[in-house]
Amino acid sequence: MKKIQTFLVAVCITISAFGQNFDSLLVAKKQPSCLDISYGSYLYFVEYMKENKIDTAKSLVDYWESKCGLKKEPVYRAKLLLALKTGTFNDSLLSKMSLSHIFSYQNRMKIIESSDIYPYDFDTPPLYHKYNSYGFYRELDSSEQNFDNYTRELASELKSNYPEESMEYLLTEFYSDNWDDILLKIQQPAYQESSLAKQYKEEIERIRNMTETHLAWITGIWIPTGALTKIGIHPELGFQIGWKRKKMNYDFTMAFKFLKSPNDYYARRDKSSDSWELTNRFFGGYIGFDVGRDVYAKNGHELQLTGGIAFDGFDALNEDKDNNLKSASAFSYNFNFGLAYRWYMTDNSYIGLRAKYNIVDYSLSKVIDFTGNPITVQFTIGHVGILDMYGSDYLKRLKYTRRK
């Protein structure tokens, strides 16, 4: 059936070729679909261009566009290459769907290289929450193969007509033999004022502004100051879970500090009693909410100003069941501030350091009668990822790394 359609279309085109009425050229006793028109357009675009019938080829492309629209990648490709052939290319020809057409063409070339079943995109392929139709899968028609082969040859010939680092050169290179690098090159300074680069930046900015999840493991040391130094330095383990949006970081933090105190200290079980017990018991906890703001972020390095509020404390006396004595713990508020540094090993995973000054008052619980403001120094291993399940894949497809 497909061959019959192509034959009928070709007959109509041949009979009426010089009349330039493409409605009659591409109709075979019925209103043609875009698919019908495209079969003939593939064939005659190649023929007219090889015969140097540039005006006729232009009329064909205009007709093809009027029937199928620029959402169809082959129409867009033919229009661009014709402009590059005639020296009439300008930045306005790069439509708002240029990135989508780049993805479509890359898909097409990848599948051609793999000799797989071919997804011809009569509908534009998805461009991250904007377009969501892949078209349909079918075997590649010979006219489409000829069209693809010819446009690669044409782009290769035209490449020498333009200086390197020009948009014209970039496009001819893309459509000839280097279709995989265009999104890397468009990030270079030479193209920053082009329409394509601006479209690219808009997409990147949209993804950059998405919320990211954050998870980190914490290990470090808790260093007391003032009278609290008698309790000694203690190791600390914990984790953070939260989110990152633009330059702001929000995390719930839980950490534990442990090991016995190197020195004995006095604590009491009854807050109203004058009975103090000597102890070296120490097991502490911290649960709070931290906020950080990026003050520097470049080339995988990130520096944050941090602040937080938490509930803090430690066990001072164990329960004594034999003597019917309850355990006792010293508790306090915790207001803290400091600096955090991250080095991203990949676009999402990092190692980092955090240093905080903690304002506390453990004597509020009346279990101990001394206090001080500890300093915590922590080593972190973390991961940051876009909350939207498609965002990370889309950034990879755009060949953009957020941090590296």
The pairing of beta strand 283-298 with beta strand 277-279? unpaired
> What is the pLDDT, as a whole number, of residue 4?
43
Give the pLDDT mean for 178-203. 91
CA–CA dist 237, 290 (Å, integer): 16
**CATH number for the domain formed by residue range(s) 212-386:** 2.40.160.20
> What is the pLDDT, as a whole number, of residue 250?
98
CB-based contacts of 131: which residues, under 8 Å, 6+ apart?
100, 123, 124, 125
> What is the pLDDT, as a whole number, of residue 125?
41
> What is the pLDDT, as a whole number, of residue 22?
60
Q: Which of 29-33, 285-289, 322-326 has the highest mean pLDDT?
A: 285-289
CA–CA dist 260, 255 (Å, integer): 17
Give the pLDDT mean for 66-95. 91
Angle formed at CA 376 by CA 370 and CA 378, multiple of 5 degrees: 155
Give the pLDDT mean for 275-300. 95
- Residue 130: is its pLDDT beyond 50? no
> What is the pLDDT, as a whole number, of residue 115?
64
Q: Give CA separation, 105 vs 98, 125, 130, 167, 179, in Å.
A: 10, 10, 17, 17, 8
- At residue 388, the 3 state secondary structure works out as coil
Dihedral over alpha carbons 363, 368, 373, 374 (to 10 degrees): -140
Q: Give CA separation, 55 vs 20, 154, 157, 290, in Å.
A: 10, 17, 20, 66
pLDDT band at 311 (very low <50, low <70, confident <90, very high): very high
Residue with more model confidence, 143 or 160:
160
> What is the pLDDT, as a whole number, of residue 303?
97
> What is the pLDDT, as a whole number, of residue 11?
40
18: DSSP letter: G
Q: Are 212 and 250 in contact (CB under 8 A)?
A: no
Mean pLDDT of the chain: 86
Q: Which of 131-145, 210-224, 377-391 has the highest mean pLDDT?
A: 210-224
259: DSSP letter: S
> What is the pLDDT, as a whole number, of residue 124?
40
> What is the pLDDT, as a whole number, of residue 271?
84
> What is the pLDDT, as a whole number, of residue 138?
44
263: DSSP letter: S
Give the pLDDT mean for 20-44. 72
CA–CA dist 365, 355 (Å, integer): 26
User: What is the CA 64 to chain-centroid distance, rounded?
Assistant: 35
Give the pLDDT mean for 25-32. 59
- Residue 2: is its pLDDT beyond 70? no
Summarised one tens digit per residue, pLDDT across range 102-129 is 999 998 888 777 765 444 444 444 433 3
> What is the pLDDT, as a whole number, of residue 131?
31
pLDDT band at 225 (very low <50, low <70, confident <90, very high): very high
Task: Identify the weakest region by mean pLDDT among 19-23, 99-103, 293-297.
Answer: 19-23
**Half-sphere exposure (CA, 13 Å, Cβ side) for 15?**
12
Domain ranges of the chain: 2-205, 212-386
CA–CA dist 6, 142 (Å, integer): 11
Task: Identify the weakest region by mean pLDDT among 49-63, 81-95, 198-212.
Answer: 198-212
Summarised one tens digit per residue, pLDDT across range 352-401 is 999 999 999 999 999 999 999 999 999 999 999 887 667 777 888 888 87
- Residue 254: is its pLDDT beyond 80? yes
> What is the pLDDT, as a whole number, of residue 105?
93
Percent of the chain with pLDDT over 70: 85
